Chain A
Amino acid sequence: MNSMQRTLTALGQKEADRVPLFLLTTLHGAKELNLSIEDYFSCAEHVIEGQLQLLKKYRSDCLYGFFYASIEIEAWGGSTIYLPDGPPLCGPPIIKTRSDIDSLQAPGVAASKPLARVLETLRGLKARVGDTVPIIGVAISPFSLPIMQMGFDRYLELLFEDRARFERLMEINIEFCVEWSNAQLEAGATAICYFDPMSSTTNIPRELYLSTGQQVAKRTLSRIKGATATHMASGRCLPILGDIAETGTAVVGVSALEDLAKLKNAANKRVSLLGNLNAIEMRRWTPAEVELKVKRAIAMAGPGGGFILGENHGEVPWQVPDETLLAIADAVERWGQYPLDWVKDWTDPG
């Protein structure tokens, strides 16, 4: 099987030749090309080359068209702060007061140079791998984007204190998210990873999710012309996993803070799971620890398909060494081959 066949089989809730591995590496491409992070993301050719090298090196089953979250904010007129050893961060909020929302307008995707770089990257990747490897595009959910647009604290206050402006902001953000997602699919993305950490039960209670984040997701995902995966970016989601499945998403990216076996049970074949290796802790894992963590995740969620192994945040940190990522790939090849006969006799050493 190639990576596309392996992934589609898993998403069909069936067992492929082995458990698919989605190592969502972004910054490591800059290391491969010996470029600063800012230089790396300044040019689509860099990211195309970086992603292809990482695919070969780490034996992942996907290419990742994601640059960094605040590239969307650049399209809205905002700025990005580059770090030498971490993900580019969002600059000052573009919505400074609540009344700014009254006159806010979504930017056109076609007019944005930063977004054009991402689209060019997706086209380049598609031209190189065709339909053999899933290419993952990324859109920040309309419900989570305001964390960057206005700051987390002010967004929470808006949500609780000014529902009319919240609704207006959602309308604007939904239009942008739909246009941006569909542009990525047209450029060659196989699916869109819909980052929605705000909906996580780490951030808001289930009752509030049902009346806000879930409604926004239903209205947005139904207009995206391709498959979507909803990612909680390390946040918890076990109490709302069934509710997320109702939004029409195919995959949920889950947290290391939750039990993968319980998540698999709750998913109940309605959605597939992506996760949940601890992206922060893995920078100091020994080879033996890597093998145990991979084995444990596969034992909990691998049987029957519906599972893609990955880390839990949606981006492997810069500080995670090559040896660890290569050891993950080795462990998946060793323990992820279906049928997973070893699982029934395996006792987790704890």
Chain B
Amino acid sequence: MHELVTSFRDSLENMDRVGAENIFRQALNTLTPIKAVEQVVVPALEAIGDAWESGDIALSQVYMSGRFCEQLVDQSLPPSDPDRKHQPRSAIVVLSDYHMLGKRIVYSVMRASGFELFDYGRMDVDELVERAIADKLRVLLISVLILPSALKVRQVCDRLKAANVPIKVMVGGAPFMFDEQMWRDVGADAMGRNAAEAVSIVNAWMGEMQ
């Protein structure tokens, strides 16, 4: 399986769609779709995320890999598949910001990892808090690029806490990468350094919530 993951990751990093698709189909010969996702796609995307964080590969490779895996997984594990359903109600949003790429990458990688989640697009604090409560979310992923937006996460967390709703908040984006203390300062429950780490954290939270 390790070789399969390595080959799949290499194909993704080199934008070799045909190669990646062939490897995924090979995995489907012996695994169910959800197992192929868990044992091939997720580890490859985790490795790609780690490589980006350490500066060994570029954001363009992360984005195109996530987008392609999302399409690949949608073909074999449609959104209505029962295997996707035992998950906490989750959403992803860009908070008070207009830079959408980070959210797009995390959304793709979450879906490529078998998750279904609401895509809230861009929202300000009031709208986000109301919607999160109305949707009975258990997990909220917040993406930002600029510092003022990152600092506004504090308002979201305070309002959710005041409403006494059990939502876990994970943040991600450049300000949190440049100041590793900031996610705690704004009251988040975790920071995802890359999209694959976001998947790992949500997986861990799922375990805690069961």
Contacts and interface: CB of A to CB of B under 8 A. Distances in A.
A286 interface: no
Interface of A: 81, 83, 85-87, 89-91, 151-153, 156, 159-160, 201-205, 208, 234, 236, 238, 256-258, 278-281, 283-284, 317-319
Given A152-B101, A205-B60, A280-B174, 6 more contacts: A89-B146, A90-B98, A159-B60, A205-B57, A280-B179, A318-B147
B99 interface: yes
Contacts of B178: 234, 256-257, 278-281
A27 to B, nearest CB: 10
A202 B177 CA distance: 13
A85 to B, nearest CB: 5
Interface string B147-176: 111010000000000000000000000110
27 contacts: A87-B146, A89-B98, A91-B98, A151-B100, A151-B101, A152-B99, A152-B100, A153-B63, A153-B104, A159-B60, A202-B55, A202-B58, A203-B58, A204-B58, A204-B59, A205-B57, A205-B58, A208-B60, A234-B174, A238-B55, A280-B174, A280-B182, A284-B179, A284-B181, A317-B147, A318-B147, A319-B148
A208 B104 CA distance: 22
Nearest to B102: A152
Contact of A160 (B57, B64, B149): B64
Chain A residues touching B, majority SS: loop
A105 B37 CA distance: 45
A257 B55 contact: yes
B147 A280 contact: yes
Given A278-B178, A280-B178, A281-B179, A319 B147 contact: yes
A217 to B, nearest CB: 17
A254 B12 CA distance: 29
